[in-house]
Amino acid sequence: MHRLARLSARLGLDLWIKRDDLTGFAMGGNKGRKLEYLIADALASGADTVVGCGSLQSNFVRQLAAACAMAGLSCVAVVMRLPFDAAMGKPDGLAPGSGGNALLDRLFGAELRLVPDGPWEELYDRAEAAALELERGGCRVYRIPIGGSSPLGAYAFAQAAVEVGEEFDAIVTASSSGSTHAGLASAFAGSGTRVIGIACDPEPDLKDEIADLAERLVDLEPSLRVPGELELRQDSVGAGYGVASPEGMAALRLMAHSEGIVLDPIYSAKAFAGLLRLAEAGELRGKVLFWHTGGTPALLAFSEEIVELGAG
């Protein structure tokens, strides 16, 4: 965790950054924390194979693949290039190709099963079909939730809060499958630290899902508290999940130009764009922590035109 001097001066805040992009595990990111608990659960269940799903540029699948390699588990991931919300349809916008996380998944020995794009529900159905097929073949399968978002995954982020203490007025983080936000919000419930999630997903019921996850986390760990009203901003999603937004790319360039720190177009850039929006609206003050959730390998799966998106 360190201070961002140039951005602090520019925004009139005391702005800090939490470097979960530099956790050191399989090129970093927030999913390593969740996998510490989820892989232990998989091993305790006696599984020999983990089945997961996500987008082709999923950071979760990348860190899952590495964690399975370390634990001696087989990893099968069912992926779509661009899964989407059924009601909203497939978003227009600059989407990543292969390379990036997809390259790393294969390097870590995961079996990627690429299926045609469709709604999230279809992706979950296909992952379940793969799990059943592997079980028929004699594998002992552990089904891992999307993005690692179960009460155990959220527990990892309640634990992460201990590293930060209560010195901040606000923490701003990207939010998508929800356990990062749920864990932090539960850990800081009733404290002087606001936890603000910036949605990278357009789903209208995301906030309810995060609230539900936080309740189930408190069932698992009763020393935590169910947060009151969650703060989730859904105005920086852009055209939809998985595609770059001009506002996010402007934020990504600003972070790179002013601090030499790289964000990713799908999550952390949108989260930082959300932080900039809040700062401009005068909704942030004092000491603020931007939680960098990682994702940088996905940046390298975009074509170079990404650099100019939203410029000028």
In the range 53-72, which residues lie near ligand PLP by CB under 6 A? 59-60
CB 261 within 8 A of CB 223: no
The distance of closest approach from Cβ of residue 12 to ligand PLP in the complex, given in angstroms and rounded to an integer, is 26
Let me know if 92 is exposed, middle or buried by CB neighbors in 10 A (0-12, 13-18, 19+).
Answer: exposed
Using CA atoms, how far apart are residues 296 and 187, in angstroms rounded to an integer?
Answer: 27
Helices (H), the chain: 5-11, 31-44, 59-71, 100-107, 120-136, 151-160, 179-187, 206-220, 246-259, 268-280, 296-299
Q: Which of 4, 18, 30, 127 binds ligand PLP (CB under 6 A)?
A: 30
| 174 contacts ligand PLP (rule: CB under 6 A) | yes
Using CA atoms, how far apart are residues 143 and 146, in angstroms rounded to an integer?
Answer: 9
> Is the CB of 174 or the CB of 185 nearer to ligand PLP?
174
> Is the CB of 30 or the CB of 49 nearer to ligand PLP?
30
The distance of closest approach from Cβ of residue 175 to ligand PLP in the complex, given in angstroms and rounded to an integer, is 5
Enumerate the β-bridge partners of residue 273: none
Site map 73..92 versus ligand PLP, x via CB under 6 A: --------------------
Contacting range for ligand PLP; rule: CB under 6 A; set: 117-125, 137-145, 169-177, 278-286: 169-177
Q: Which of 179, 193, 236, 245 binds ligand PLP (CB under 6 A)?
A: 179
3-state SS track over 38-53: HHHHHHHCCCCEEEEE
Catalytic hit among 55, 58, 150, 186? 58
| 272 contacts ligand PLP (rule: CB under 6 A) | no
The distance of closest approach from Cβ of residue 296 to ligand PLP in the complex, given in angstroms and rounded to an integer, is 8
Q: Which of 49, 150, 177, 186 binds ligand PLP (CB under 6 A)?
A: 177
Using CA atoms, how far apart are residues 6 and 162, in angstroms rounded to an integer?
Answer: 27
Using CA atoms, how far apart are residues 38 and 31, in angstroms rounded to an integer?
Answer: 10
Query: Cβ contacts of residue 161 below 8 Å, gap of 6+?
Result: 183, 184, 187, 188
> Is the CB of 247 or the CB of 264 nearer to ligand PLP?
264
**Distances from the Cα of 148 to the Cα of 7, 30, 71, 300, angstroms:** 32, 10, 17, 23
| 242 contacts ligand PLP (rule: CB under 6 A) | no
The distance of closest approach from Cβ of residue 59 to ligand PLP in the complex, given in angstroms and rounded to an integer, is 3
Judge whether 58 counts as a catalytic residue: yes
Q: Which of 57, 101, 175, 193 binds ligand PLP (CB under 6 A)?
A: 175
CA proximity to 147, closest of 235, 55, 227, 70: 55
The residue whose Cβ lies closest to ligand PLP is 295
Residues that bind ligand PLP (CB under 6 A): 29-31, 59-60, 147, 149, 174-181, 264, 267-268, 293-295
- Cite the active site residues: 58
